[in-house]
Amino acid sequence: MAIPLSIQWINGQLIILDQQKLPHETEYIALNTIEDVYDAIVTLKVRGAPAIGITAAYGLALAVQRHDTETLEVFHHYVKKDAVYLGSSRPTAVNLVWALGRLQQSIGSAQTVAAAKAQILAEAKRIHEEDEKACRTIGGHALDLLEGRSRVMTICNAGSIATAKYGTALAPFHLGKELGREFEVYACETRPVFQGARLTVWELQQAGVDVTLITDSMAAHTIGAKGIEAIIVGADRIAANGDTANKIGTLNLAILAAAYNIPFYVAAPVSTFDLQIPDGKNIPIEERSAEEITHSAGQPIAPNGTKVFNPVFDVTPAQYITAIITEKGIIHPDYERNIIDVFTTVSGKGEKS
């Protein structure tokens, strides 16, 4: 039994777990070019907000190696161009542009192109390491909040394979396993591309955590029938007022939690907050292809030419969120004020660091 990892930097190579092949095949692939990295993010070979940020960071570190002879000024220009390209791979998870921004900032003081290249790689590794630590800390805070509660529902995959390790929403289950605390996890299948069924169930089984799969439409019934005591989800972007974008279907669960009077927790590192965005209305929501809905396992399940709406994230208004669990601590309602407090404590400037 082990917690699976999705991203590794081994001997100068970026290796990822191909999440499109799960659960049937556990295949690790090398991403060698910026185009490989872009494609892996777009096609969900690697997915989950923190994992996208880490992969893109390594992708930029790989990409800049090919800019050999330019002056520092020209080099900066190419770094920016590469970052814009990688940053356009997916719109909703803010960790992507956050990580790329951090890498660009990291070369401000470099005196040579070689030094700048080394600094970009070092910063990518730092982001990777920091995320693992952040997720473990989130797991600890979540365990405190879940004291006395063991039947927990989740959606999508906000697990180890969506981050450096441990995950966000799944961190308490992994950490709980390490500490001898058992949970019964109910995983929503998460249509249309089944991150819950394919990824969360696989990941928790690998780690020896008790997990039960339900379809998304069974959530309301299951909360009552199985005595679900809490819901915990990840996040792709959290606005300054606490409104949270996460996988489509998250809002349904938040409303159900309110109806059943059980806590609804969001777990996310500070890299998932976007303080430039005042509220959820301003979060860009990715729409993906119609085939994700009209087809299943390559076979049509709807008439040819069916009109489709396929938003892959929704926004849960802050009022439904019992607490937001970060590595800097647990943020309670009155989010507008309490989020700023956390960020002020983090850097002293209201900026995340």
Ligand X SMILES: CSC[C@@H](O)[C@@H](O)C(=O)COP(=O)(O)O
Closest CA relative to residue 74, chosen from 116, 32, 105: 116
Say how many Å lie between the first and final Cα of the chain, rounded. 34
Contact 306, 290 (CB under 8 A): yes
Say if residue 117 carries a ligand binding annotation: no
Say if residue 48 carries a ligand binding annotation: yes
Pairing between β-strand 295-296 and β-strand 184-188 as defined by DSSP bridges: unpaired
312 binds ligand X, rule: CB under 6 A:
yes
CB 76 → ligand X: shortest distance, Å? 30
Closer residue to ligand X in complex, CB, 79/248 = 248
Which residue type is seen at 27? E
Which residue type is seen at 224? G
R_g over Cα of the chain: 20
**Per annotation, catalytic residue among 131, 236, 274, 314:** 236
Closest CA relative to residue 318, chosen from 291, 353, 278: 278
If binding means CB under 6 A, how many residues of this protein chain bind ligand X?
18
CB 126 → ligand X: shortest distance, Å? 19
Say if residue 45 carries a ligand binding annotation: no
Q: For 44, left (φ over 0), alpha (ψ -120 to 50), or beta? A: left
CB 234 → ligand X: shortest distance, Å? 3
CB 69 → ligand X: shortest distance, Å? 37
50 binds ligand X, rule: CB under 6 A:
yes
- x-marked contacts with ligand X along 180-199 as a string, rule CB under 6 A: ---------------x----
Q: State the Cα torsion 199-203-209-213 to the nearest 10°.
A: 10
Q: Which stretch, 6-14, 67-75, 160-168, 276-284, contacts ligand X (CB under 6 A)?
A: 160-168
Other beta carbons within 10 angstroms of residue 340's beta carbon come to 13
Q: Which stretch, 105-113, 158-166, 177-185, 205-213, contacts ligand X (CB under 6 A)?
A: 158-166
CB 303 → ligand X: shortest distance, Å? 26
294 binds ligand X, rule: CB under 6 A:
no
Q: Which stretch, 73-81, 123-131, 155-163, 314-322, contacts ligand X (CB under 6 A)?
A: 155-163
Q: Is 236 a catalytic residue?
A: yes
* Helical H segments across the chain, by residue range: 34-42, 49-64, 72-87, 95-106, 113-145, 171-179, 201-207, 219-225, 250-260, 291-294, 335-347
Interactions with ligand X, residue window 30-49 (CB under 6 A):
47-49
Say if residue 247 carries a ligand binding annotation: yes
Cα–Cα distance, 292 to 307 (Å, whole number) = 12
Contact 4, 206 (CB under 8 A): yes
Interactions with ligand X, residue window 227-286 (CB under 6 A):
234-236, 246-247
CB 162 → ligand X: shortest distance, Å? 4
Q: Which residues of the chain form contacts with ligand X (CB under 6 A)?
A: 47-50, 93, 156, 158, 162-163, 167-168, 195, 234-236, 246-247, 312
Residues that constitute the known binding site for substrate: 47-49, 90, 195, 246-247
Q: Which residues are annotated as a binding site?
A: 47-49, 90, 195, 246-247
Residues carrying an active site annotation: 236
